[in-house]
Amino acid sequence: MKNSKILISMDIEGVAGVWRPEQTQAGQGEYERARRWMTEEANAAIRGAFKGGAREVLVNDSHGHFGNLLADEIDPRAELIQGKPRTLGMMAGVDQKGVAGVLMVGWHARAKTRGVLAHTSNSFAFARVWLGGQELGEVGLYAALAGELGVPVLLASGCDVMADEAQVLLPGLPCAVVKWSDGARSGRSLSPQAARALIEEGCREAVHRRLHGHEAPLLQLPAPISLRVQCQTPALADVFALWPHVLREDGDTVELSCASVQDAVRSLNALGAMSSVLR
């Protein structure tokens, strides 16, 4: 296959051993250990991608402030994308020339599910999100963004609830399940070492298949597309309705029409930024 560049998008809630919100929040004691586990899962995915035949690997730091991965501990063969704001958010880099596919590592299920630390994009601001009438979490939102650019998701790793969600959206998608949810903050997990081995092998196989002509599923939504958001509080809907293009549906739900999935994701991220006035 001519294109041999792979994008790895790294989140933290789906990393093995991560169960509690404080493990995901900078400044909390447990965060430093969790970000190291996140970095090592990124390295496992990098090793797998290169073993599968990738010529270049980009790693997108996709959690919170987008500055979690320990740069001096990342496999030096890869390039690291960090910092915000950025136009494509969790999928920054997908628009580069030659990207053959995306590996979603450490991802989680959508809001209002029993997945480990489940939420959608911004847990303070958004209760539920729909694109084109379909409720989506981060896996769906960003798979659709990549799909709009013709780039498939090759693998997703995280909890079992996330994997089930991803399989519905992208039938046949390989998933590396590293933990199993008994609830939003409880369950059982592989050890970090076992999780890294599973991720490395899964990424190796997924990239090898893609680079040897295997067709991977694309999530493509027809444009124009409606973005509908149920806010966590009516006060947030008050803030979002200040944007002239936003229509207020009821006390806590707003909607706007977007020309593309990329515009919808950018709009959602802009709403998330607007929510900071109420924090």
Residues with active-site annotation:
119
Contact between 269 and 89 (Cβ < 8 Å): yes
Angular region, 54: left φ>0, alpha ψ -120 to 50, beta rest: beta
Write the DSSP symbol of residue 21: G
The whole-angstrom distance between residue 70's C-alpha and the CA centroid of its chain comes to 19
Write the DSSP symbol of residue 22: G
| Contacts for 122 with CB less than 8 Å, ≥ 6 apart | 272, 275
Q: Report whether the peptide linkage leading into residue 222 is cis, meaning its omega lies within 30 degrees of zero.
A: no
Q: Which helix (H) or strand (E) holds 7?
A: strand 5-10
Other Cβ atoms within 10 Å of 71 Cβ, number: 11
Instruction: Compute the C-alpha angle 105/94/91, nearest 5°.
Output: 50
Other Cβ atoms within 10 Å of 2 Cβ, number: 6
Closest CA to 169 of 216, 120, 212, 111: 216
What phi, psi does 113 have (nearest 5°)? -115, 175
